[in-house]
Amino acid sequence: MVAHFLRLKLQLLANSFRRGPWQVFGLVVAVLYGIGAAVLCSAGLLALRFFDEETARSFTIIGGSLIVAGFAVVPLMFGLDDALDPRRFSLFGLDNTKLSLALLVAALVSVPTLALLIVVLSQIVTWTRLPGLSFLALLGAVLTVATCVLAARVTTSVAAFLLATRRAREFSAILGLLVLVLLSPIVFVLAGVDWATDDGRTARAFADTLAWTPLGAAWAIPGDAAIGDGGGAFLHLLIAVATPALLWLAWTKLVAWMLVSPEREGRAKSYAGLGWFDRLPDNPGGAIAARSATYWARDPRYWVSLVVVPFTPIIVMLPLLVVGVPGTIVALIPVPVFSLLLGWSLHNDTAYDNTAVWQHVVSGIRGRSDRLGRLFPALAFGVPIILVGSVVSAYFFGDWAGLGGILGISLSLLLAGMGLSSITSARFPYAVVRPGDSPFSQPQNTGATVAFVQTVSFLVTAVLSAPAIVLAVLGYVSDPAFYTWSLVAGLATGLLVLAVGVWIGSRIFRRRGPEILAASLQAA
């Protein structure tokens, strides 16, 4: 049976190269990228052979733990398709244990596993400095491969249930993006460590922690022996053996359950009432505002912004704290950054309608109704966060007088960004992901217009808010009374730019309606 499943897996891999030319090209690039990454990691492991035992142990455990975590987490994040889903063999009457073993062996025939083998074999070379270490490194390599393959099989099968519907997969991918966003400051912190003067203390602390987890236990076995910690090596060996054993038990139980469980199907939701259409005025502007609010609540393309934008200030704050910027100053950053990004995110909002924009063009609605209606979700979402966030920032700033400056800058950035977006989304719409497609798919076309619109709209929004920013700075370095003037200037500037932007955008939308419709048809 195992040989038959191996032939089946090889045939599936061969069939992957019988698709369209661009799909084959993308597959080849992905394979080369994976092998290249494995070779790069192997070069690092080979170089560690010439470092001292402590350094080699620390970096081997840290790097190896990241690899094991990748095998376990990636299927849960993105819901990878499983060509050998156990449920596909439910009608063959196969023995559960034999089927579990056959599927596991077949999983060894894959590009990620090949890359893993390259890395773990290189890890053996790292520990050839002493005869006995080579055997322990080989034992750790076998346990690592077993752990990675079993973890991938278990999480892939779990994802087949949890991420069976398209909406669940998209939501999981957005959460994965959020995790990457939150992990980026950690990478910055690690990059900022002075490893030359740190004497490896930070790396050893990370490695010692990871060594007692299933992620790094197998990688720690030869390193522990190399530094003379026989007891640690034995305990880590027990963890490394117990991990694949428990994963195998979970895998067999999961296969047995999947063989008698049907595939999960998405259930249609029942909605009572008309939602936002019941809550907003029954006029053209209210209808467009209700439709936009519904998009923001249900369209995965908008979810990406709604998830990432509030957490982006964290990426800005943590590096500043690491380099020694006082916390009272850093507390002033999150709300203005959030406001800038939220207002800027609307700069291409019209394009998200795709071909549905024809209804706006042929119905003869006023451009002002279209422009104002699209701004409603950002106002409803952004203004409460600005008000609450500004109070929190002022508290950590330590001076309530600074509340005026924070509000002035934030409101100016949000309102000015929305006003400018009212112009750019009508005058320079560019192709975005189509409705119904994954928010992470590649847009239909790109060009110089994309970079121009994104860059100019971002910079001009910041420049238009300069009066509020300058007055807030004067309030900090000179007289706190300037904070109040910053609020007045920010609110006045934001409302003025918003009014002018809506007026200009309305005229452009009315005048360029056919061009906007033609552009949407070309991108469809």
Give residues with Cβ within 8 angstroms of 336, minimum separation 6. Answer: 406, 409, 410, 413
Q: What is the pLDDT of residue 269?
A: 58
Q: What is the pLDDT of residue 62?
A: 85
pTM of the model: 0.64
Q: DSSP class of residue 17?
A: G
Max CA pair span of the chain? 83
Q: Looking at the domain assignment, is residue 201 inside a domain?
A: no
| Cα 21 versus chain centre, distance | 29
Nearest residue to 79 via CA among 16, 147, 170: 170
Q: What is the pLDDT of residue 73?
A: 81
Q: Within this chain, do residues 254 and 376 fall inside the same structural domain, yes or no? A: no
Q: Looking at the domain assignment, is residue 199 inside a domain?
A: no
Q: Within this chain, do residues 374 and 424 fall inside the same structural domain, yes or no? A: yes
Whole-number Å distance between alpha carbons of 355 and 359? 9
Give the CA distances from residue 53 to residues 88, 133, 134, 210, 359, in Å, rounded to whole numbers and listed in that order: 48, 11, 14, 17, 69
Q: Looking at the domain assignment, is residue 163 inside a domain?
A: yes
Q: Looking at the domain assignment, is residue 267 inside a domain?
A: no
| Phi, psi of 261, deg, nearest 5 | -115, 130
Last residue of a domain, one of 227, 259, 291: 259
Whole-number Å distance between alpha carbons of 296 and 294? 5
Whole-number Å distance between alpha carbons of 427 and 348? 9
Q: Looking at the domain assignment, is residue 84 inside a domain?
A: yes
Q: DSSP class of residue 323?
A: T
Nearest-5° Cα angle at 340, 336 to 343? 135
153 in Cβ contact with 251 (< 8 Å): yes
Q: What is the pLDDT of residue 169?
A: 60
Low-confidence ranges of the chain (pLDDT < 50): none
Whole-number Å distance between alpha carbons of 345 and 494? 16
- Coil vs helix vs strand at 276: helix
Q: Within this chain, do residues 252 and 296 fall inside the same structural domain, yes or no? A: no
Q: Looking at the domain assignment, is residue 174 inside a domain?
A: yes
Q: Within this chain, do residues 284 and 413 fall inside the same structural domain, yes or no? A: yes
Q: Within this chain, do residues 172 and 284 fall inside the same structural domain, yes or no? A: no
Q: Within this chain, do residues 90 and 117 fall inside the same structural domain, yes or no? A: yes
The position carrying tokens 């320079």 is: 428
The position carrying tokens 């217009």 is: 449
Q: What is the pLDDT of residue 225?
A: 87
Q: Within this chain, do residues 245 and 297 fall inside the same structural domain, yes or no? A: no
pLDDT in tens, 183-201: 555 555 555 555 555 666 7
Q: What is the pLDDT of residue 418?
A: 93
Last residue of a domain, one of 193, 227, 259: 259
Q: Within this chain, do residues 482 and 369 fall inside the same structural domain, yes or no? A: yes
Q: What is the pLDDT of residue 386?
A: 92
Query: Residue 189 is encoded by which pair of tokens?
Result: 């912190």
Q: Within this chain, do residues 165 and 294 fall inside the same structural domain, yes or no? A: no
Q: What is the pLDDT of residue 11?
A: 76
How many domains is the chain built from? 2
Give me the amino acid identity at 33.
Answer: Y
Q: Looking at the domain assignment, is residue 198 inside a domain?
A: no
490 in Cβ contact with 468 (< 8 Å): yes
Q: Looking at the domain assignment, is residue 60 inside a domain?
A: yes
Q: Within this chain, do residues 386 and 288 fall inside the same structural domain, yes or no? A: yes
Q: What is the pLDDT of residue 322?
A: 66
Q: What is the pLDDT of residue 313?
A: 80
Last residue of a domain, one of 259, 287, 312: 259
Q: Within this chain, do residues 225 and 284 fall inside the same structural domain, yes or no? A: no
Containing domain of residue 93, as a range? 2-185+214-259
Q: Within this chain, do residues 392 and 247 fall inside the same structural domain, yes or no? A: no
